[in-house]
Amino acid sequence: MIRIFSLLAGAFFSLALLWSAGKGAVSYISEPTPKTVEASFHEHPKPLHLSSDGPFGTFDRQQLQRGFQVYSEVCATCHALKHVAYRDLAALGYNEAEVKAIAAKAQIPAYNPATGEVKMNPGQPKDHFPPVVYGGAGSPPDLSLVAKARHGGPAYIYSLLTGYADQAGYKNEKGEELLKKFPEAKTPDGLFFNPYFANLNIAMPAPLVSDGQVTYADGTKATVDQMAQDVSAFLMWTAEPKLEKRNQTGWPVIGFLLFATALAYMAYRTVWAGKKGH
């Protein structure tokens, strides 16, 4: 009798749990999601195809050098690369003399423990990119790992850089006009409307404002779209500089594991072939 009662109690609680889960699922599907400004007008990253994409991806050295040029001439004023050393730039195709010349343009703080003074010295290849001294409110994010830290990676960076828009008249994919649907959503003074940013309003003004903002050494036409693609590719490299080596190592490892699995299975069949039934 006690056993039957236990089974009935267990069945009751199991059914109650299933009913509760089912009700929650139905409510989630049937009830409309509350529409906020962000939910209605936030855009997902635009497609961006880089040579580093996929399991066989490799970096385009020329594009990386162009991206580094965009970073140096446009972004470096506000954003640092604290996880990158100047000697790492050799991976972009720069020779030793070029790396030394790039490093020497920077001023690296050096602390003297004897006097307590901080002296600024020209950078050397062993030095990391120095922190940015920023005079405004807050501190712009370091860009070393931003391509891995943001959902969408380089596609998000590319979309953000090319996504600044005039808020007046801006429509979402359903054709709804932002300020007509949400009059209170007007971008505050000092911020800039960008539908690819999480809350639509970003403190950073558009950094890429016109074609030809930089002059590429390889002669590539520096359109806003091209510059955004190039700096996004460069920041993908700063976030994952060992990507090529990882891809090159990964496939032989997978092949070895598959071979080892097949070998182990055949050994199992051989060892136990005459043991079954005993």
Reported confidence tier of residue 103, pLDDT bands at 50, 70, 90: very high
Give the closest residue to 123 by CA, choosing from 73, 78, 93, 84: 84
> Rounded to an integer, what is the distance from CA 22 to the centroid of its chain?
36
Reported confidence tier of residue 35, pLDDT bands at 50, 70, 90: confident
Distance CA 271, CA 83 (A): 53
Architecture in CATH of 37-84+129-241 = Orthogonal Bundle (1.10)
pLDDT at 123: 94
pLDDT at 216: 97
Lowest mean per-residue pLDDT among 8-12, 106-110, 135-139: 8-12
Distance CA 92, CA 66 (A): 10
- Look at the block and give the residue holding tokens 């006690």: 2
> Is 78 annotated as a binding-site member?
yes
> Is 128 annotated as a binding-site member?
no
The pLDDT tens digits of the residues spanning 138-181 come to 689 999 999 999 999 999 999 999 999 999 999 999 999 999 99
> Is 1 annotated as a binding-site member?
no
Task: Give the CB-side neighbour count of residue 160, counting CA atoms within 13 A.
Answer: 23
> Is 204 annotated as a binding-site member?
yes
pLDDT at 125: 96
Average pLDDT on 28-48 reads 78
Mean pLDDT of the chain: 88
Query: What backbone torsions phi and psi does residue 169 show, to the nearest 5 degrees?
Result: 85, 0
The pLDDT tens digits of the residues spanning 184-230 come to 999 999 999 999 999 999 999 999 999 999 999 999 999 999 999 99
Domain positions in the chain: 37-84+129-241, 242-272
pLDDT at 31: 44
User: Three-class SS of residue 222?
Assistant: coil
pTM of the model: 0.81
Distance CA 42, CA 206 (A): 17
The pLDDT tens digits of the residues spanning 124-143 come to 999 999 988 776 666 899 99
Query: Does residue 26 or residue 17 have the better pLDDT?
Result: 17
- Token digits for 58? 């490799």
